[in-house]
A and B are shown apart, each in its own frame.
Chain A
């Protein structure tokens, strides 16, 4: 079983729509969680850390459900510039980050 699993999508949404997707992780001892964004053929960039109580950063909301071992990302009022692949990243133990394969979001005009 992969340590981090994501629905690859793609999620095709119109501008202004809300889109949400999850990722699941297998190691219940995982302590830290992140969402990274990766544009086509470019480097991953940190979008936001995910905290136990859930957190927002502008139009982006991240949630953590430890009982069911998943984290979610919700994007409100989607912009064309939100089109990207979103990587779910989990820290199962020190010195290691496990990356999901990514969820592709395409926002259309």
Chain B
């Protein structure tokens, strides 16, 4: 029972490089989310997709883009990586976007920007 799967698990980039973080869920959830987690801070929402075909900005969207490829998949792209984007990135999904629904997380991508 995979749940939410993220790839890659680890990545090191140089400043200015681009890359895409992949996320897929097999729970038939409508809503998907991308967060970043930095030391001493709570998870911060980057972007979310309330349902297939829609995406919206979260708290910290600058420097990122997303694509909801289909109901299962939601990718996060860094067009020109910066050291400030060094973080752990978590993808999550929920049945629907209403806040009373718990979210299920992937096991994260640890990204370092040199």
Contact = CB atoms under 8 A, between A and B. Distances in A.
B43 interface: yes
Considering residues B43, B56, B58, B108, which has the most beta carbons from chain A within 10 angstroms of its beta carbon? Answer: B43
A44 interface: yes
A4 B41 CA distance: 10
Interface stretch (B12-20, B66-74, B99-107): B99-107
Interface range on chain A: under 10, 10 to 19, 20 to 34, or 35 or more? Answer: 20 to 34
B99 A101 contact: no
Contact of B99 (A46, A87, A95, A100): A95
B53 interface: no
Contact of A95 (B42, B48, B105, B107): B48
A34 B103 CA distance: 10
A49 B102 contact: yes
Interface residues of B, number: 25
B99 A44 contact: no
Main secondary structure of the interface of B (DSSP, over half): loop
Contacts, number: 57
A61 interface: no
A1 interface: no
Contacts of B35: 99
B40 A43 contact: no
Nearest to B42: A99
Interface string B87-106: 01010000001111011111
A98 B59 CA distance: 10
6 contacts: A2-B42, A41-B108, A43-B105, A44-B90, A46-B103, A102-B42
Interface of A: 2, 4, 8, 31-32, 34, 41-46, 49, 87, 91-102
Given A32-B99, A42-B108, A93-B99, 16 more contacts: A41-B108, A43-B90, A43-B105, A43-B107, A43-B108, A45-B105, A49-B102, A87-B42, A95-B56, A95-B99, A96-B58, A97-B99, A97-B103, A98-B42, A99-B42, A101-B42
